[in-house]
Homo-oligomer: A and B are copies of this chain.
Amino acid sequence: MRVAGPALPSGARLLVVDPGEAAAAGLRSYDRVRVRLGGRSAAALLAAVGGIVGPGEAAASLELAEALGLRGGEEVEVTLAGVPPSYGAIRRKMRGESLSPDEIRSVVEDVAGYSLGELEVAAFLLAQEMRGMTPEEVRALTAAMVEVGGRIDFGRPVYEKHSIGGVPGNKVSLLVVPIVASAGVFIPKTSSRAITSPSGTADTMEVLAPVEFSPEEFREVALRAGGAIVWNGGLRLSPVSEVFARVGRRLEIDPPSQMMASILSEKLAVGTHGMVLDIPVGRGAKVETLAEAESLASRFLELGRAFGVRIQCAVTYGGQPVGHAVGPALEAREALEALSGRGPASLTEKSTGLAGMLLELAGAAPRGGGKAAAEAALESGRAERKLREIVDAQGGDPSVGPEDVPVGEKSTEVRSTADGYVTRVYNSAVAAVARAAGAPEEKGAGVLLHAKQGYKVRRGDVLFEIYAERESRLTEALALASELRPVMVEGMLLRRIPDYA
């Protein structure tokens, strides 16, 4: 086929051909194909879409054009790509067998090189989910992911805080990073955007400052302020990790083996020396029981040791949202309030606890004295000043106050229909309502909880507020809230049967 120029911007290695042409060659949309030009070849995904190129022609995406050095006009050969040998390893894992480090490396390399597509990645993740992996396999997976990814050398010891996630409103990094950095411990934090939650740490930080940097910019910014909070995806250090995350998100699975390897390889890529890992536990969190949390923690510790990273795990309460605010702007505002001493206890307690562990791990506080040191950094205003330094280094407004953060202009209150105690605040329901309201894309959208578990409320008291940037989303979120009831009050009438007065 002749390559029609110019290349199409896409985001994947894509080859667009005429549907008739594809059918004649026995090819279908989303088939994995091999595109050959002279002695070079690249794997690509086929898109059979009409009206773009003529018969006998193919259009390449920028990514494919780059891989083959296409400029348009070349004759390329297109064949259905067989699965690479590494898929044999995935099949063995499907049967429950253990893989050798070489087999695991070949899988990771083929994901990086587009020879294994999303379906094969799905098979790999599902096999991990259903069969599990040995510690040796997780080590090999971690090592392989580090190998195919990029690295940043900060030239000084790096400390990190990471949460395995699953609990809405977890804006603790916006407190932990400045607390730790204010004590001179270097913490250039890479963080994710929301995957299934209403706000990832990167989304929340972005309310205060840009978070997308090249590795060079990240290095400079972090060294200048002694800390940073940036978006990991923007650094493009681990494209493989992003593929795993994207497919896992689509399948709604996060196998522990892959999660451990993805987290640790990301931290190794920035030269992490020590890390505190937050494992929230509770109903509706990723980890539901203490026993599971302990098992995960000990596996993480062992994995860290194998790579010379000192890890401490903090098992925290994850049965309801952290603090009161859920959604990027609402969370950023709550974090600023907490840094100025006006935050909810659940947030400052958790943040100073984790920060204290890091201070001890880095030798910046005596054993047992970390939490007090963290509290002092918070109460003295040092942590707040450090956050402003970081915001400034990342290009945000260092003078921003909680009241300056714009939250959604449309809002509504949901009130209790009964007197009683709040028996449950559902993580998944709060997250779903905040997302329905527009979070994380619409930064001002989210949920502000007025009551949490154990609170005593009277009929007519506000249980929570929903914020949105658009009326239509507010309506949608409110409808979902009536259905899901994120905040449950004992004694509340759940249903009336039959449904008339």
A52 pairs with B50, CB closer than 8 A: no
Residue-wise, chain A 100-131 has the 8 Å CB interface mask toward B (1 for contact) of 00000000000000000111101100110111
A49 pairs with B122, CB closer than 8 A: no
Provide 27 A-B residue pairs closer than 8 Å at the C-beta atoms, listed in order of the A residue: A8-B50, A8-B52, A9-B51, A14-B29, A14-B49, A16-B49, A26-B440, A26-B441, A28-B246, A30-B30, A47-B49, A49-B61, A51-B52, A51-B59, A83-B250, A94-B126, A94-B129, A94-B130, A96-B130, A118-B118, A119-B119, A119-B250, A120-B250, A122-B123, A122-B126, A123-B126, A126-B130
Q: Which residues on the B side are within 8 Å of A6 (C-beta)?
A: 51
Across the interface, name the chain B residue whose C-beta is closest to A250: B119
Across the interface, name the chain B residue whose C-beta is closest to A16: B49
Q: Which residues on the B side are within 8 Å of A23 (C-beta)?
A: 11
Across the interface, name the chain B residue whose C-beta is closest to A28: B11
Contact residue among B10, B96, B250 (Cβ-Cβ distance under 8 Å from A48):
B10
Number of interface residues of A (CB under 8 A): 51
- CA–CA, A49 and B12, complex, Å: 9
- CA–CA, A94 and B247, complex, Å: 16
Does any Cβ of B come within 8 Å of A251's Cβ?
yes
Q: Which residues on the B side are within 8 Å of A117 (C-beta)?
A: 250
- CA–CA, A123 and B127, complex, Å: 10
Residue-wise, chain A 406-428 has the 8 Å CB interface mask toward B (1 for contact) of 00000000000000000000000
Does any Cβ of B come within 8 Å of A87's Cβ?
yes
Does any Cβ of B come within 8 Å of A459's Cβ?
no
Enumerate chain A interface residues (CB-CB to B < 8 A): 6, 8-12, 14, 16, 19-20, 22-23, 25-26, 28-32, 47-52, 59, 61, 83, 87, 91, 94, 96, 117-120, 122-123, 126-127, 129-131, 246-247, 250-253, 440-441
A30 pairs with B48, CB closer than 8 A: no
Query: Which of A31, A252, A253 is most buried by chain B, counting CB atoms within 10 A of its CB?
Result: A252
Q: Which residues on the B side are within 8 Å of A49 (C-beta)?
A: 8-10, 14, 16, 47, 49, 52, 61
- CA–CA, A117 and B247, complex, Å: 12
Across the interface, name the chain B residue whose C-beta is closest to A193: B26
Across the interface, name the chain B residue whose C-beta is closest to A121: B119
* Whole-angstrom distance between the Cβ of A488 and the nearest chain B Cβ: 22
Q: Which residues on the B side are within 8 Å of A252 (C-beta)?
A: 83, 87, 91
Contact residue among B11, B122, B440 (Cβ-Cβ distance under 8 Å from A19):
B11
* Whole-angstrom distance between the Cβ of A132 and the nearest chain B Cβ: 12
Across the interface, name the chain B residue whose C-beta is closest to A77: B472
Q: Which residues on the B side are within 8 Å of A253 (C-beta)?
A: 91, 94
Across the interface, name the chain B residue whose C-beta is closest to A96: B130
- CA–CA, A251 and B32, complex, Å: 11
* Whole-angstrom distance between the Cβ of A51 and the nearest chain B Cβ: 5
